[in-house]
Structure 1
């Protein structure tokens, strides 16, 4: 028995256990969030959130596209407008919260795909696994298979090896301790290759879209034929534009362009067959060059492309007011139908101004609103052109006199009169509608004259730069290819067990069951029983 001294003696302290260092503790803290972020489920959730986050950018005006629309929306919604402005609703695609979702989606996809890629490479390099101990437990199996080979396991295994290799399996033959042989075969790694290619292509498309959103831009300009109607690639000369979040207006391609001619050809039913714009352009201080722009055949520059979008007519009229002052205007009219029936406005804000003795507040500005018909129909009251080409052109105009509202500082369209000025009586119609053919002149009610000189063609040009378009094309092709391979590929493993004596047994396992799985296994077993060689079977199938 233990003595009292032994019982009362304190036991020696236990040696301290090795603690967890701060580095491992920090890694453990972030491991679970990282696993959650890099799961495929999280990637799908983030992709869905990205689609939701893009909705405000489609419904609300955006500052990088049209500042005037944003200002108008803020003026009309004095309570909701500023609140949405604080939430970056008018610059959605450059907002912190949209960028956060985009970056999290990138990280999630990369975190998902890199481990899958590594595992796939390892699976491709690894030999087919050993046959299970009990093949009868597999989804499909076969017993008592008589394989020709003279009863020798090595000869039977060689025949099975050739058969499976002909069917494009990767095969591994293993000798067993009891003298038997197992034949392991697998195929279908292309299915996972297509799956990984599909997701990497999706990642590439997202990267390309981000590049285009950050450093791309587009801008539209209506260009009338003539050296005096050209433009340069600056924001002030565009009708509409949209800049990427990282685009500096000073970094636009320094190109200037004017249209020297336009060729439009139409079929007998009025459908266009050829649209060609002949242009002169210069880049920076370089020499002038000539080019032809057609639909789907843009002018390709180093850092931009210029596309042809549409065409129409710009009537040229000469107006002489009652004081004898003459002005000539080239006014583009916008097409309203496929036959190029066009409407527009020709404004003369400096008309009817005598040399002295006029009250500045008393305005007698003049404008003409009307319709241009390239081919006048037999009944002009129809008000629509009979053909899009100029076969019998006519210009129908109504004169307006008063205050055009150009000095109010409110943006207005150059293709229509200010309806508010007409409703308030500040701008009134004068006289009757007149119809002019090219070269004709008419006298107006106040003694002035109006001459229809002719028309010039106009074309809508779009200057576009998208640094990610090549990557988008490559990503889209690879995505489609990966999808096809993923859908058509079949992952399959087949095992044969050849005992030292007796019949052969077989079994198969598919990674995902497909309709022809059982039929394919039965076909393999049937070929294994066939006494013909693989070469003979191949010749028979070919015939």
Structure 2
């Protein structure tokens, strides 16, 4: 049993296993980049379920919509961390011992080395920049041992240590970090403060208490976007609290948190007036279905027609910023139109079951006629004399609020990686020896410890060739 455990540990801490686990971790992260993640955008995950109703539940059970919190991802992560520790620590100890150890003594027969030359003038041999050690032998012979290239192993250790640092930073971020998502509609009545109750979705690290969240409030006070003629966005910029602007990949830095702009869309403003003349207005965010911001959503009026649940009103449909044949032709509001279906009945909002605010529960609803296309300012008169007015739209954005204390550590790890990788790729181990014989003759030999096509030129430069003749 002890032998089995020892062999298993050796296999786990081998460089081959570490590289395999690193490759597996990269492959395991692919679904997190390709598929929408709940920690980033719960709305996109819900949209994926609507588009792929059969595939999405299977992927959800496998944890593909929460890849970086999945047990199988954590298992690969921990195995890689253990493998790197077991791989780096012994190599680091060996490297330190090698640095402290003096260069090895000159071999007895230089002619057996790959590079060998007779040196006419030993004073011309240049060992500048080499680690060297001079030895005097009992017979009067003097040897100089010189070596270079320890930066290669230093680079290897820095590279692998950087992976450890990155893993530690990611782990700290997972334990002490937190994130939250919020769909924020323009206007002071839609402003929110940084508390769990006002988030659409959130996740706290095990070491984070809700009371640890930094206090701040955000109100969307402006939004600008620019698009190419084909509808591809050039840029879009949000303004919050009247003076703070941020864009995609340019987050808003707050004390204790960063706010990232993820997406945007339109929220139609609808005013419903029932048969008794009572009016109510709602601003309902519609979620994009494509890059042209063809958006779907619902507007609910649970207080319509008094307290009679059977006469509650709901509308669902599509918003087209630039109306086309059933879809929008451009994401800008060039020819906006709202296509709606009307429903009357019990909306089911008080049954205590959590439901999506972007879909109607039609179990107790009755559809009222055909769909209606509304332009801004249009009024739709229903069968009972009630009216629905399309007053216009407001902009909305989706934001991700994040605090990751492991970011500086990850940044340090990336810096180590960038320093160590070139050193490990371009560093070359090599040795040169010089022997001064008692009869006044001198010879030099060279040995590259790794594949190094340029060593012959370097050997000639050290021994001041062509004064001497080099053989290999």
Shift of 1:502: 7.1
1:159 has 2:124 as partner: yes
SS in 2 for 1:315: strand
1:384 has 2:356 as partner: no
Comparing 106-115 with 206-215, which one deviates more in the overlay?
106-115
Match of residue 365 from structure 1: 312
Q: Is the 8 A contact 2:28 2:73 kept in 1?
A: no
- Over alpha carbons, which structure has the higher Rg? 1
Shift of 1:491: 0.6
Q: How does 1:28-427 map to 2 (within 5 A)?
A: 41=13, 45=17, 109-110=84-85, 112-138=87-113, 140-142=114-116, 145-149=117-121, 156=122, 158-160=123-125, 162=126, 164-165=127-128, 168-280=129-241, 290-353=243-306, 363-376=310-323, 380=324, 382-418=325-361, 421=363, 426-427=364-365
Instruction: Extract unaligned runs of 5+ from structure 2.
Output: 47-60
Shift of 1:490: 0.4
Match of residue 516 from structure 1: 453
C-alpha distance in 2, partners of 1:186/1:92? Answer: 46
C-alpha distance in 1, partners of 2:449/2:4? Answer: 28
Query: Highest relative contact order (Cα 8 Å, sep 6+), 1 or 2?
Result: 2
Q: TM-score, normalised by structure 2?
A: 0.81
C-alpha distance in 2, partners of 1:272/1:91? Answer: 28
C-alpha distance in 1, partners of 2:70/2:372? Answer: 52
Change (3 A) 1:529 1:184: farther
Instruction: Extract unaligned runs of 5+ from structure 1.
Output: 1-29, 70-83, 85-89, 150-155, 281-288, 533-543
Q: Is the 8 A contact 1:262 1:276 kept in 2?
A: yes
SS in 1 for 2:266: strand
Aligned positions, number: 447
SS in 1 for 2:411: helix
**Residue 491 of structure 1: which of 429, 432, 447 is its match?**
429
Q: TM-score, normalised by structure 1?
A: 0.71
C-alpha distance in 2, partners of 1:502/1:412? Answer: 96
Shift of 1:339: 2.0
Shift of 1:243: 1.9
C-alpha distance in 1, partners of 2:399/2:282? Answer: 21
Shift of 1:252: 1.4
SS in 2 for 1:204: helix
SS in 1 for 2:314: strand
Q: Is the 8 A contact 1:370 1:398 kept in 2?
A: yes
